[in-house]
Structure 1
């Protein structure tokens, strides 16, 4: 005999009383998800959302993505660029199905030492065989990661623009690798189209199976594959964009800064913090607070406190007040360091006291270099929580600034915008980088 719990009997009675329309009322509405596009595949987990590019401008992306493959970035800029480019999300409006823009994304990932991420994206990208630009960056990613056969398969599958010089050279290498007699003819054809002395000596030795190929070459993935196949010493060659990451492995997701510690505990604490060891830096700072500890320069100590606060995501109003105070005394060089440090710490959201705010407002800091229109667009994107658009505009200014990163006024604007757009970890990295530059 079946036994029913009283609660179940009550539920059944209520359902029966509701009548035949109850089931229809409880139907679940289906939601049509947008179809994936050329940006939807992820290179790796980045912590950024699938709505990253919501509201972003394809025109901005078409300007910025090629810059990221061509111009060196600071560590903070590189970390931001790698994160947004490796994220899987539907692309900027009007650009998600643009093969040229998708290729620019992958090329930038390779230049930023993330060939593995580029390869992961392109393995899940359709239509490679119908687009030479996408196929070329996919082949380069494969060669950089040591997947030579995959690169050869991509070259074989390509159905358009097969007579371009890159494909002639790659096919010559693939044919030689497979021991095909046609390799010599393809090599001669490639040299007839565009002579290349480095390719000639490496490929000549590969075809001959003997002789001196000379030094290794590391300009790109094909050079790397040829040099590896000839068992050449890769240590003495200057690696091109993306090749260093293939040799040394990708950089860590978080920004890190090379810094040699100078004399004294403050410099040592800054150096370990630059390498990501916040706990050790805080330990050194605690030791300096002891009564019997030698007291370092007041500005240096304030800079260390600002660095620790930025790295720890802590608001430190007393340190900001001290920086403003140091910004009004002493030599001009030291005043400028304190003023810029105060600007960067305040950009993260640390509030001024009324007295400090009044003093800070009188500082004559250098003007920003980014165009007014771009800065305004970045602020508007940040206020609208458009993370991808904000990142692109910040990276545009960063790429123009070079490997040391933006100057203080532009950097503070970037820090504030990234924080407002929800990219707070990257805002902190830009702040730490700027404060380290003032040490």
Structure 2
């Protein structure tokens, strides 16, 4: 047997008491370094391709502010795709926040609200001692209820070993007891829950479930428990306004990548933009290859330049000629047309395409609108990206995006986000934010 195949040379040399060459000694030192301790963020929901040091030097205070927002605020498709990918990544969490059960629970709740309930459930199933944490157990129960796994939620309630007397668990246990046919026990638990904290919607729905007769009234979709109760009573779920997490559960399967609803207008240029918005770059390129400006009366020079910018941004290509054309359009025509071209030029330029010296001179005179984000937050975003801190950069970008709403950030804020994400190594998401902004200018 060739023992050299089974023993590593440094170990043999050490055992013999021989001196190590400097390079080998360095290798041994590296191999002996302790691995970082696992924390509540170390479990992955799926493979994302992001690095294990995603949260290096990230602020726990920023994460604690932003992550809960992601479950509460409507996000644009580009922002939602970034949030899903970052939160599903298994990586040691922000310093001081990686072992915070409330923050870990907010991570799972945000994934559910963003349409990636499977990642949330995977994380919670692989996280040790969830039953010892009320926030994590509640996140697990809600994720199960929204996935239609009522037994899984009841199992989480049964396994919980702390804070079992909180109102959420009283209400869930009453539901689980009724579901199991334990009507008398369910009635007692229901009465106790209502005496602790009366809730009209829960009381109406749970009361009807226990009675088995009567009109339960309108459905309620504030959370997973309301959703499960309303569904179990056979109510019309379209008659209530759902909370974000419930809306995600009711929606068709959400693609993990950014996709946009784009209503195509007349002509092939608009059609090419529509297919690109749904992720079909190849078809958009094929359509563009057939277009000649003089033969498309409904499409002007700006429309074709915008389509070229969209294609280049989606493909991750620099395109100096297209950027120069956008800058040119930003200096001619009516004020509204100039403003659209100027904003498009700024968003596309943020991806890094070069400009001619003449175009740079014209571009410097553009006004692309007022930034909405606080200046300190924008500066923090730039500083994080310069240090190539992807987790911190993503959190700050998502903070700006969450405050902007479902339409996404204003063009001035968007240019900062695109630039920062690209600098931090989050190229795909920089392209997503650019494409989203360009589509909005059609």
Q: Tell me if structure 1 keeps the 8 A contact 2:267–2:298.
A: no
Which residue does the alignment assign to 1:392? Answer: 395
> Contact 1:288–1:294 at 8 Å: present in 2 too?
no
Task: Give distance in 2, aligned partners of 1:294 and 1:361.
Answer: 31
Distance 1:130 1:174 in 2: 20
Partner of 1:195: 198
Among candidates 147, 152, 155, match of residue 153 of structure 1 = 155
Change (3 A) 1:278 1:203: same
Matched, 1:351 2:354: yes
1:218 paired with 2:235, answer: no
SS in 1 for 2:237: coil
Specify which of 198, 204, 208 is matched with residue 205 of structure 1: 208
1:84 paired residue number: 86
The match for 1:339 is 342
Given that 1:114 and 1:242 are in contact with CA atoms closer than 8 Å, whether structure 2 keeps it comes out as no
Length-normalised TM-score, structure 2? 0.90
Q: Does 1:240 align with 2:250?
A: no
Instruction: Please tell me whether the aligned partners of residues 260 and 271 of structure 1 are also in contact (alpha carbons under 8 angstroms).
Output: yes
> Hey, what's the Cα distance between the residues in 2 that align with 1:290 and 1:335?
19
Quote the Cα distance in structure 1 between the aligned partners of 2:436 and 2:316.
14
Determine the structure 2 residue equivalent to 1:13.
Answer: none
Instruction: State the distance in 2 between where 1:372 and 1:200 align.
Output: 47
Structure-2 residue corresponding to 1:119: 121
Q: Which one of the candidate residues 293, 299, 302 is aligned to 1:299?
A: 302
Task: Pick from 60, 63, 69 the counterpart of residue 62 of structure 2.
Answer: 60
Please list every run of at least 4 consecutive aligned residues from structure 1 whose deviation after the TM superposition is greater than 6 angstroms.
22-27
CA distance in 2, matches of 1:412, 1:24: 53
The Cα shift of 1:41 comes to 0.8
Gap runs ≥5 in structure 2: 5-11
The residue that corresponds to 2:7 in the other structure is: none
What corresponds to 1:49 in structure 2?
51
Matches within 5 A, 1:64-143: 64-143=66-145
Check whether the contact 2:121–2:144 (CA below 8 A) recurs between aligned residues.
yes
Q: Output one character per residue of 1:98-140: Cα deviation in whole Å (capped at 9) or x when no partner.
A: 1121122122222212222222111222333332222211110
* Structure 2 match to 1:12: none
1:361 equivalenced with 2:369 (yes/no): no
TM-score by length of 1: 0.91
Judge conservation of contact 1:216–1:233 (CA < 8 Å) in 2. yes
**2:261 pairs with one of 258, 263, 275:** 258
Residue of structure 2 equivalent to 1:320:
323
Q: Give the alignment partner of residue 287 of structure 1, picking from 287, 290, 299.
A: 290
Match of 1:382 in 2: 385
Higher mean C-alpha displacement, 95-104 vs 239-248 = 239-248
Match of 1:186 among 181, 184, 189: 189
Identify the match of residue 418 of structure 2 among 407, 415, 418: 415
Shift of 1:88: 0.8
More deviation in 127-136 or 44-53? Answer: 127-136
Moved more, 159-168 or 404-413: 159-168
Q: Deviations over 1:143-167 (max 9, x none)?
A: 1112211211211222332222211
My pick for the range that moved more, 67-76 or 319-328, is: 67-76
Aligned to 2:270: 267
Corresponding position of 1:163: 165
Q: Distance in 2 between matches of 1:247 and 1:365?
A: 38
Counterpart for residue 176 of structure 1 = 178
Cα shift at 1:244: 2.4
CA distance, structure 2, for counterparts of residue 146 and residue 295 of structure 1: 49
* CA distance in structure 2 between the aligned counterparts of 1:335 and 1:101, rounded to whole angstroms: 45
Q: Supply the distance in 2 between the matched residues of 1:425 and 1:355 (Cα, whole angstroms).
A: 30
CA distance in 2, matches of 1:47, 1:281: 27
Structure (1 or 2) with the larger CA radius of gyration? 1
Alpha-carbon contact 1:100-1:134 (below 8 Å) kept:
yes
- For structure 1, list consecutive stretches of 5 or more residues without a partner in the other structure: 9-15
CA contact 2:293–2:299 (8 Å) conserved in 1: no
Report the Cα offset of residue 205 of structure 1. 2.6
Q: Larger deviation: 194-203 or 113-122? A: 194-203
